[in-house]
Amino acid sequence: MDAKRDKDQESDFAKITPALLKSRTGEFDLESILFLKLRSHGIFDLGCVGECKNLERLDLSGNNIINLTPLASLQLLIVLNLSANRIANLEPICKCDSLQSLNVAGNLISSIESLQCLRSLRKMESIRLKDNTNNYTNPVCKNSSYRNILLEMFPNLKVLDGERVVGRGSDLYQLCKDIDDTIKAGMFKNGQVVELPDCKPWVEDGFWEIKRSNNAIIEEACRQFNDVLSECRLLNHKAAHVITQTERSLSSTTQPKQYTL
């Protein structure tokens, strides 16, 4: 009986409607919605989500979504989670100029060409096509060069598949590495090694190799914690705004009338 009720509820959410959005967010006006989380509701039709013009964070993971066309109008969207759906075409997302974080792990993206449409998203800092914690991937991940291609496409990318590729001190790292390379190049003259007394490397071999964490569980926990923290900040901002509006309203109604003689 419970399984049947759950199935019926899931079918009710097959399409995103104004009624669903209002019940989930408490907002009467769709343009007032800043954060929306609709995980694992069996959604396959994005419906009116494109009317949430001021949406900044959207989580639609674990659904049955194929067509992303309604997302093209979300110009202020910063974080988008579409993991575990049935998406093969990312073209509509290229209109989301403010997008900084995109999670499409566990979909049907098949080739590097399918990713080329994202080149216009110059603010992109984090992309996830593979999630080892949840065993999510995409067919394109079988291409051994997809990571290097994405790094070339997005020079400002900081996180790829949950791994940090740029961090604090990266500029210093590159500068020191360039200096070491220059010193090494100066040790050769006419193809012969020039003996330089007391010339030693600054650091041991392998010092400049990027160290990556293999603990995917901790990385995923940190990511989820940061998501919750961001949601709390948005709710706090929204609460502060409502309190301010209420105080102003009460102040205007309780202020005594003044008369002039």
- Whether residue 45 is contained in a domain is answered as yes
Quote the CA–CA distance of 17 and 47 in Å, as a whole number: 6
- State the pLDDT at residue 225: 76
- Whether residue 247 is contained in a domain is answered as no
The dihedral built from the CA positions of residue 99, 103, 109 and 110, taken in this order, carries a sign that is positive
The CATH number of the domain holding residue 96 is 3.80.10.10
Each residue's pLDDT tens digit, 56-102:
999 999 999 999 999 999 999 999 999 999 999 999 999 999 999 99
Are 46 and 87 part of one and the same domain?
yes
- Token pair, residue 91, equals 């073209």
Residue 255 three-state SS: coil
DSSP conformational letter for 257? P
Quote the CA–CA distance of 162 and 137 in Å, as a whole number: 12
- Whether residue 217 is contained in a domain is answered as no
Q: Pairing between strand 79-81 and 57-59?
A: parallel
Q: Cβ contacts of residue 151 below 8 Å, gap of 6+? A: 157, 160, 165
- pTM for the whole thing? 0.63
Are 146 and 178 part of one and the same domain?
no
Domain, as residue range, for 109: 2-165
Are 20 and 141 part of one and the same domain?
yes
- Whether residue 216 is contained in a domain is answered as no
pLDDT for residue 10 is more than 50: no
Mean confidence (pLDDT) of the chain: 80
Number of domains, the chain: 2
Are 134 and 203 part of one and the same domain?
no
Quote the CA–CA distance of 9 and 43 in Å, as a whole number: 11
- Token pair, residue 43, equals 């959604």
- Whether residue 231 is contained in a domain is answered as no
**By mean pLDDT, which of 93-97, 210-214, 235-239 is the weakest?**
210-214
- Whether residue 142 is contained in a domain is answered as yes
Nearest to 84 by CA among 34, 25, 43: 43
Residue type, 27: E
Q: Are 62 and 40 in contact (CB under 8 A)?
A: yes
Quote the CA–CA distance of 55 and 31 in Å, as a whole number: 8
- Whether residue 24 is contained in a domain is answered as yes
Cα torsion 123, 129, 130, 131 to 10°: value is 60
Q: What is the mean pLDDT of residues 219-247?
A: 76
- Whether residue 239 is contained in a domain is answered as no
What proportion of the chain, given as a percentage, has pLDDT over 70?
A: 69
Each residue's pLDDT tens digit, 137-183:
999 999 988 988 898 888 888 899 988 885 544 555 555 566 666 66
Q: Which of 144, 165, 186 is the last residue of a domain?
A: 165
- State the pLDDT at residue 4: 43
Are 131 and 11 part of one and the same domain?
yes
Q: Which of 130, 165, 200 is the last residue of a domain?
A: 165
Each residue's pLDDT tens digit, 97-146:
999 999 999 999 999 999 999 999 999 999 999 998 889 999 999 998 89
